[in-house]
């Protein structure tokens, strides 16, 4: 923690806040994409994409799960999606799963989560649609089948949000599915045939 605190204290000295780039940030944000991914500390959207401050709007939670539209109670996920589209006018949404995901691992192994009731309740949102994948997935510890299946499912949930559906129907929004390999840095992109492929730039 000391190293993090030291870097936070010196941040102002390490960055030129008088530059044009940083002056523009004070005027407002105009991100290109909403990036929905896991809270896992190894998954860093700006590092993966090379995004500069202000370029991506992030939504992170355990397992990159999108709650069903109309779920009871307040939802930070629903609020973030709504704000990104209605206020910021984002035209691309990326749902990015990743290898070695603890949330997906818990679902695959059927871990007893009674000591983690919040985690258990949260993962229940993803479990039903993932059931076929969970039973058929290989024993690969990186869990590609489960994590990729979850990305596909969360994209389907996104499409049930009226604000998403309206923009898709109007050609004003694009959805993207990604799978990030923590150990290799490769990004696999979901294609029209339902397969994830690596594209080298």
Per residue in 96-124, pLDDT tens? 999 999 999 999 998 899 999 999 999 99
pLDDT at 95: 98
The predicted model scores a pTM of 0.93
Instruction: Read off the pLDDT band of 197 (50, 70, 90).
Output: very high
Sheet bearing 92-98, strands edge to edge: 56-61, 33-38, 92-98, 174-180, 187-190, 196-198
Residue with more model confidence, 85 or 139: 85
The pLDDT-based confidence of 176 (bands split at 50, 70, 90) is: very high
Strand duo 187-190 + 196-198: pairing: antiparallel
> Rounded distance, CA 22 to CA 173, Å?
28
Mean pLDDT of 155-171: 97
């Amino acid at each position: 923690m000391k190293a993090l605190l030291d870097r936070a204290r010196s941040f102002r000295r390490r960055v030129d806040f008088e530059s044009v780039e940083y002056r523009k940030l004070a005027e407002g944000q105009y991100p290109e994409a909403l990036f929905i991914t896991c809270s896992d500390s190894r998954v860093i959207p700006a590092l993966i994409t090379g995004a500069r401050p202000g370029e991506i709007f992030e939504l992170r939670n355990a397992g990159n799960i999108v709650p069903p539209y109309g779920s009871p109670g307040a939802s930070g996920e629903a609020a973030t999606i709504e704000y990104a589209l209605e206020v910021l006018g984002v035209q691309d949404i990326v749902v990015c799963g990743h290898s070695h995901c603890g949330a997906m691992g818990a679902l695959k192994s059927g871990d007893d989560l009674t000591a983690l009731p919040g985690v258990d309740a949260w993962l229940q949102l993803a479990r039903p649609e993932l059931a076929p994948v969970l039973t058929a997935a290989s024993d690969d510890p990186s869990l590609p089948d489960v994590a990729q299946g979850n990305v596909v499912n969360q994209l389907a949930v996104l499409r049930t949000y009226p604000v998403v559906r309206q923009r898709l129907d109007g050609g004003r929004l694009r959805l993207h599915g990604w799978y990030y390999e923590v150990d290799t840095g490769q990004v696999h992109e979901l294609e029209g045939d339902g397969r994830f492929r690596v594209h080298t730039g």
